[in-house]
Amino acid sequence: MKYYGIKRRERMEIFRYKYSKVLAYLKYVVFSNDDKEKELYEDLYINQLGFYKNSDNSLPVSNFYYLNSMSTCDLIRRDQINQLKKGLKYLLKNQRSKRYYNSFQEGIAELNTRLENMDSSLSMWYNKTNLGFFEVKGERIANLIDCYSIVVHNVNTAYIGIEFTVYLTEKANGELESIIQSDYKHECGYAVESCYGYKHKIIDKLFKSYNVIHYNDNHLKSDQIYEFISCIEWELYNSLNNMFPFVLHNKGIMPPRIELFYTDLDFLNDEAKNFFDSVGVNSFHIQYIDEKQAMFFNPQLSGRYSNCDVSNRLIYLVQDDGIKQGNLESVKDMVSIHMNDYALEYYRILFLDLLLIDAGKIVVNYKKLLDKIKLKRNSLNSLFKLKYKFSVEMDLYN
């Protein structure tokens, strides 16, 4: 699904709100003589009484909070390793960056050897291979992504992981920073389906209706950041989809990612609580790496995503010490070492979570299909076909 359904969700929310507003106008204003009903319409759609927010969720003055990079990783089945080789060969020949030093200098033959030996069951094997930096091709993605690096990981005996560390352009970073720094307010609310009963003489029936709900502005701002970065992630995978047989992206599942942010704010600063809430950082889901580094699991989103399984994202928040990277004196050096040593372990946790959720959906879907097949003699062919399709889909999780 394009942009993992994010853009479609936004369009549907706008349409549903406008539709509910017209419906409410006809019901409460045009066809009703009750002043209370008209007041209800005005409160929901015109005055929006009771929903004004006084809290300020903007970035505190003279402080900074910015995205340094975004790392994302998808899976590739080992039986599709030849397609992985071809894709990496094409990138090395055509899109390798000349602006940065590239760590991989050995050549295509050595790369193929490393990929084939990326198996811990062998006596001599490779755990990962760093291929350096690459440029993007295409006007639309070039406006979003400046460059990216690639690391190939040995995930397990069934999968190889391909990790992209993405650096945004100045334009994209500027758009993201404008969201982060803003005091976000959403006034109109979101329309949700509801029902009401109507009883008059011979009519006694439930009718579908709409109500307007308002989510926390801090969490809605967090949604904006999440959706902005997610759309850039989709653009990256979409541009590379014809080269690599991605497992999660091709199933419409957003691959896991780690967002690296730098700030000069204290993680537990009560004065900046509204701001941290507005960027998804919640002190209840913090795991300290050291006094200046913390990983945040399950970043906070609004109720718009309450029915969605959004568990693909970690926020890596670092207090910048202002020391230039190099000589192992800066916290930035510690960040590079930590990501180099533990990124795959984080991804394994996220992969397991995403695959378990997807496997559960498949089981529920096939259970519904199975319930529709009547266990009669002439239904056995349908049953066998369903069993075969189920086995093929579940083979991905074995």
Q: Which residue from 95, 102, 181 is spatially nearest to 141, judged by alpha carbons?
A: 95
How confident is the model over 149-171, as a mean pLDDT? 93
Q: Where residue 324 falls among pLDDT bands split at 50, 70, 90?
A: confident
Q: What is the mean pLDDT of the chain?
A: 85
CA atoms within 13 A on the CB side of 73: 28
**Does any domain span residue 397?**
no
Residue 42's domain spans which residues?
Answer: 2-58+192-216
How confident is the model over 93-99, as a mean pLDDT? 86
| Other CB atoms within 10 Å distance of the CB of residue 229 | 20
What pLDDT does 124 receive? 64
Residue scoring higher pLDDT (396 or 168): 168
Taking 70 as the threshold, does the pLDDT of residue 93 lie above it? yes
**Does any domain span residue 45?**
yes
203 and 271 assigned to the same domain: no
12 and 69 assigned to the same domain: no
Q: Which residue from 36, 221, 240 is spatially nearest to 150, judged by alpha carbons?
A: 240
210 and 241 assigned to the same domain: no
Share of the chain above pLDDT 70, in %: 87
Taking 60 as the threshold, does the pLDDT of residue 4 lie above it? yes
47 and 76 assigned to the same domain: no
Three-class secondary structure assignment of the chain: CHHHHHHHHHHHHHHHHHHHHHHHHHHHHHCCCCHHHHHHHHHHHHCCCCCCCCCCCCCCCCCCEEEEEEEEEEEEEHHHHHHHHHHHHHHHHHCECCCCCCCCCCCHHHHHHHHHCCCCCCCCCCCEEEEEEECCCCHHHHCCEEEEEEEEEECCCCEEEEEEEEEECHHHHHHHHHHHHCCCCCCCCEEEEEEEEEEECCEEEEEEEEEEECCCHHHHHHHHHHHHHHHHHHHHHHHHCCCCCCCCHHHCCCCCEEEEEEECCCCCCHHHHHHHHHCCCCHHHEEEEECCEEEEECCCCCHHHCCCCCCCEEEEEEECCCCCCCCCCCHHHHHHHHHHHHHHHHHHHHHHHHHHHHHHHHHHHHHHHHHHCCCCHHHHHHHHHHHHHHHHHHHHHC
Q: Where residue 121 falls among pLDDT bands split at 50, 70, 90?
A: low
Q: Where residue 385 falls among pLDDT bands split at 50, 70, 90?
A: confident
How confident is the model over 60-76, as a mean pLDDT? 94
157 and 277 assigned to the same domain: yes
How confident is the model over 268-292, as a mean pLDDT? 86
Buried b (16+ CB within 10 A) or exposed e, 40-73: ebeebbeeeeebebeeebebbeeeebebbbbbbb
**Does any domain span residue 296?**
yes
155 and 278 assigned to the same domain: yes
**Does any domain span residue 270?**
yes
Note the pLDDT tens digit of each residue in 232-258: 999 999 999 999 999 999 999 999 999
Radius of gyration from C-alpha coordinates of the chain: 25
CB 314 within 8 A of CB 350: yes
CB 134 within 8 A of CB 99: no
Q: Where residue 317 falls among pLDDT bands split at 50, 70, 90?
A: very high
Burial zone of 338 (CB within 10 Å; 0-12 exposed, 13-18 middle, 19+ buried): middle
232 and 277 assigned to the same domain: yes
**Does any domain span residue 231?**
yes
Distance of CA 262 to the CA centre of its chain: 19
Taking 70 as the threshold, does the pLDDT of residue 378 lie above it? no
How confident is the model over 338-356, as a mean pLDDT? 92
Q: Angle CA(35)–CA(36)–CA(39) in degrees, nearest 5?
A: 90
Q: Which residue from 86, 108, 94, 176 is spatially nearest to 138, judged by alpha carbons?
A: 94
Q: Where residue 70 falls among pLDDT bands split at 50, 70, 90?
A: very high
Give the pair of three-digit tokens for residue 363: 């089981």
28 and 172 assigned to the same domain: no
Taking 90 as the threshold, does the pLDDT of residue 53 lie above it? no
Q: Where residue 127 falls among pLDDT bands split at 50, 70, 90?
A: confident
Taking 90 as the threshold, does the pLDDT of residue 71 lie above it? yes
Q: Where residue 369 falls among pLDDT bands split at 50, 70, 90?
A: confident
Residue scoring higher pLDDT (283 or 303): 303
Taking 90 as the threshold, does the pLDDT of residue 271 lie above it? no
What pLDDT does 248 receive? 93
What pLDDT does 377 receive? 55
71 and 146 assigned to the same domain: yes
Name residue 326's amino acid. G
143 and 233 assigned to the same domain: yes
309 and 352 assigned to the same domain: yes
What is the C-alpha separation between 135 and 272, in angstroms, rounded?
37
Give the pair of three-digit tokens for residue 155: 């995930």
Residue scoring higher pLDDT (41 or 287): 287
What pLDDT does 118 receive? 83
**Does any domain span residue 351?**
yes
What pLDDT does 282 receive? 82
Among 87-101, 133-147, 244-258, name the one with the lowest average pLDDT.
87-101
Q: How far is CA 344 from CA 181, 207, 229, 293, 312, in A?
A: 31, 51, 21, 18, 14
Q: Where residue 49 falls among pLDDT bands split at 50, 70, 90?
A: low
How confident is the model over 332-361, as a mean pLDDT? 90
What pLDDT does 392 receive? 76
Name the domain count of the chain: 2
Distance of CA 193 to the CA centre of its chain: 26
Task: Go through the chain and tell me how many residues it has.
Answer: 398
**Does any domain span residue 171?**
yes
282 and 200 assigned to the same domain: no
**Does any domain span residue 305?**
yes
Q: Which residue from 207, 215, 227, 217 is spatially nearest to 190, judged by alpha carbons?
A: 215
